[in-house]
Chains A and B, each alone.
Chain A
Amino acid sequence: MLGKYLDKFCAGLRILLGVMMGALAIPVAMQVVSRYTGLIPTYLWTEELATFLFVWIVMIGSIVAVWDGTHFDVRITRNAMRPLPRLLQDGIVHVAIMIFGAFFLFYGIEYTEFGGNQRSVMMRANLAITHISVPIAGGFWLLLSCYRLSEVIAQYLNRESSQT
């Protein structure tokens, strides 16, 4: 049940990623148009807005990739075939991401507060709007990896029970 909700949530994030990628093109394109055509005035905030969007794209993309299991890994060892080694091989990856997620969540809250005390140079935007992406990403890595770990454990238990 939770898996369905998480799947739908990540489907929503995929749509958001596409929209943000399109939105990212707007401020950068505005810079080019204003510099070379003079059709619109030179806005100083475009570079800052593009960087803000960029940070969010990276963080949201990292959440989706944790759910899809598409972060690049290196496979030097063979795939484990027996249930227990398989559980350890897959489970350890999820546990590692959970640890990093917990780190991001815990220290990210302080980092957001730190950002909240600063304003951007051009837009005078409160920097918490980007810094908050750190604990959010950390929290979702933790949640999604936790769910994936529960799936791996359930698979292990199913295989064990079918063998006995």
Chain B
Amino acid sequence: MILDTATAATMLIAGFLVLIFIRIPVAFALGLATLPVVLLELRLTPFIVLDRMFQSYNSFILLAVPFFLLAANLMNSGKVTDRLIELARVLTGWMPGGLGHVNVAVSMLFAGISGSSTADAAGIGKILIPAMQKEGYDTRFAVAITACSSVMGVIIPPSILMIVWGGVMQVSVGALFLGGAIPGLMIGLALMATVYGFAKARNYPVTATPNWGEFWAAWKGAALALLTPVFVIGGIVGGLVTPTESAIIAAGYALILGMFVYRTVTPKDLGFILYDTARFAAISLFAIGTASAFGWLLSFYDAPRLIVSILTAWEFGAFGTAILIALLFLLFGLFIDAIPTIIILGTVLMPVAQAGGVDPIAFAIIGIVSLAFGLVTPPYGLCLLISAAIGGLNVVQALREVVLILAPMLVILILLAAFPEIILWLPKTVMPGAFR
């Protein structure tokens, strides 16, 4: 039989939703949802699912993902994270709610090096959640602030999600990196203001007021790690290296720091780090394949055009379109991993953004910031799951604090939708060529 757009789109989307409801892993649910369509449709062969999956892996830019994960894992194992925490402590620990600020500040530093939110939550959470519990912080707050601050990993450059976005949607990764910088800093400051509010309300302590000696020692200790964003972001923005090359340089640099400079990574550790990186990357990237097949089928049946015609008929304008985009990404991000969401929803909404007058870079950053919320919201909040596991809590127990911490971040998302120049100013200034 020949399926029409509405029937095929309903079969795909309803099938997928039913499958994830009965707990089929997301990557398999995406693939399984395509089977009834390709088996029924006369114009298609089931072969197409395999081929679209394979085509999606045939992308050199995607190789950046395992290497950025490797860099982050090497940083965590090589005690580079400890040095960043020490630096964050002397910079922000003197404020009320000291360790909460340290948590946010170190996430910003880590985000500038790694590009992975989950590595951030795992690496920093392991050290700071027990330290916060020891200093009398409520565990729910410690878990919530660790999870919420870790989302900056995908917003502050370098970012794995931006690399995937750039690769899938043919947008300059350098411009995306620059576009994420100011929103990332705004979210960091908003999180610190929230920590201050909690500290005042709950009498959280000041960690320590550092003297000049400690201050200098902390800077010196973290200086080599802090060079990473200089050559990663600088290299990509300056057009010197591709994202994949910058990722391998970051991983190589982290390896040199861990094995030869700080001597905290042994060859045995390296074996486990390599396996753990490959395992996590494979799980995330496998979903890219099935998401690509799913997204391709939606395109085959012209579902994006149908969605565009419906949404553009409402004439939302640029702000309304940006808010709609944010809402859809927020909704999808609740249930699906960010990478498949970019492949399925990002490609569908790209023409909607264009029709609504939203710049592609602003569209990307609004999408990525919205998806970052999904990292800390159940049922699929990976960073919250990791942090809650470290704190020994059930995810639901930390939800109230998470909602309170996310509220100012939501305000920032609305600001980005209303004033996209916040996103665009830096890339337009540094990389005007990306806008021609």
Interface residues of A (CB under 8 A from B): 14-15, 17-22, 24-25, 28-29, 31-32, 35, 47, 50-51, 54-55, 57-62, 64-65, 70-77, 89, 92-93, 96-97, 99-100, 103-104, 107-108, 110-111, 114, 130-131, 134
Across the interface, A103 reaches (CB within 8 A) one of B29, B35, B271, namely B35
A107 and B46 within 8 A (CB): yes
A64 to chain B, nearest CB (A): 6
B67 at interface by CB-CB < 8 Å: yes
In the complex where A62-B282, A107-B50 touch, is A54 in contact with B57 (Cβ < 8 A)? yes
Given contact pairs A62-B286, A97-B28, A14 touches B248 in the complex (Cβ within 8 A): no
CA distance A130 to B58 in the complex (A): 11
Q: How far is the CA of A19 from the CA of B21 in the complex (A)?
A: 36
Q: Do B57 and A55 touch across chains, with their CB atoms under 8 A apart?
A: yes
A65: chain B residues within 8 A (beta carbon):
279, 282-283, 286
- Mark contacts of B94-105 with chain A using CB atoms, 8 A cut-off: 1 yes-contact digit, 0 otherwise: 000000000000
Q: Which of B19, B245, B283 has the most CB of A within 10 A?
A: B283
Contacting A51 at CB < 8 Å: which of B49, B58, B245?
B58
23 contacts between A and B (CB under 8 A): A17-B275, A18-B275, A18-B278, A19-B274, A20-B278, A24-B63, A25-B252, A28-B63, A29-B248, A31-B245, A58-B285, A58-B289, A65-B283, A72-B337, A74-B21, A92-B22, A92-B24, A93-B25, A96-B19, A99-B32, A110-B47, A131-B54, A134-B50
The reply to whether B46 and A28 form a contact with Cβ atoms under 8 Å apart is no
Interchain CB contact under 8 A, A96 and B20: no
**How far apart are the CA atoms of A70 and B234 in the complex, in Å?**
36
Bound-state CA distance A8–B62 (Å) is 31
- Tell whether, in the assembled complex, residue B248 and residue A28 are in contact, meaning their CB atoms are under 8 Å apart: yes
**Shortest Cβ distance from residue A74 to the other chain B in the assembled complex, whole angstroms:** 5
Interface on chain A toward B: helix, strand, loop, or mixed SS? helix
Interface membership of B70, Cβ < 8 A? yes
The 7 tightest CB contacts between A and B, nearest first, are A61-B282, A71-B25, A18-B275, A21-B278, A18-B274, A17-B278, A21-B274
- B-chain residues with CB within 8 Å of residue A29 when the two chains form the complex: 248, 252
Whether B380 pairs with A74 at a CB distance below 8 angstroms is: yes
The answer to whether B43 has its CB under 8 Å from any CB of chain A is no
A28 interface neighbour in B23, B244, B336, B382, Cβ under 8 Å: B244
- Minimum C-beta distance from B384 to chain A (A): 13
Across the interface, A60 reaches (CB within 8 A) one of B245, B271, B282, B382, namely B282
Assuming A72-B25, A104-B50, what are 17 further A-B pairs, CB within 8 angstroms?
A18-B274, A21-B275, A21-B281, A24-B63, A24-B66, A54-B62, A55-B58, A60-B282, A64-B279, A71-B25, A74-B21, A76-B21, A92-B24, A100-B31, A100-B35, A103-B35, A130-B54
Q: What per-residue 1/0 map shows which CB atoms of B232-274 lie under 8 Å from chain A?
A: 0000000001001100110110000000000000000001101
**Given A14-B279, A28-B248, A74-B26: A55 touches B21 (CB 8 Å cut-off):** no
Assembly CA distance A73 to B27 (angstroms): 8
What 1/0 flags go to B305-343 for Cβ under 8 Å of A? 000000000000000000000000000000111000000
Q: Across the interface, do A74 and B379 meet the contact criterion of CB distance under 8 Å?
A: yes
Pair A77/B46 contact, Cβ less than 8 Å: no
Q: Is B51 an interface residue (CB 8 A)?
A: yes
CA distance A114 to B51 in the complex (A): 10
B281-303 contacts to A (CB < 8 Å): 281-283, 285-287, 289
Report whether B274 and A111 are in contact in the complex, using a CB–CB cutoff of 8 Å: no
Residues of chain B within 8 A of A93, CB atoms compared: 22-25
What CA separation (Å) do A29 and B54 show in the bound complex?
24
Say yes or no: is B277 at the interface (Cβ < 8 Å to chain A): yes
**Is A57's CB under 8 angstroms from B278's CB?**
yes
**List of A residues within 8 angstroms of B278 by Cβ:** 17-18, 20-21, 57, 61
Cα(A51)–Cα(B62), bound, Å: 9
Shortest Cβ distance from A29 into B: residue: B248
Nearest CB in chain B: distance from A9 CB, A: 15
Contact with A along B38-63 (1 / 0, CB 8 A): 00000000110111001001111011
Known: A28-B248, A31-B245, A111-B47. A72 touches B60 (CB 8 A): no
The answer to whether B382 touches A72, judged by C-beta atoms less than 8 angstroms apart, is yes
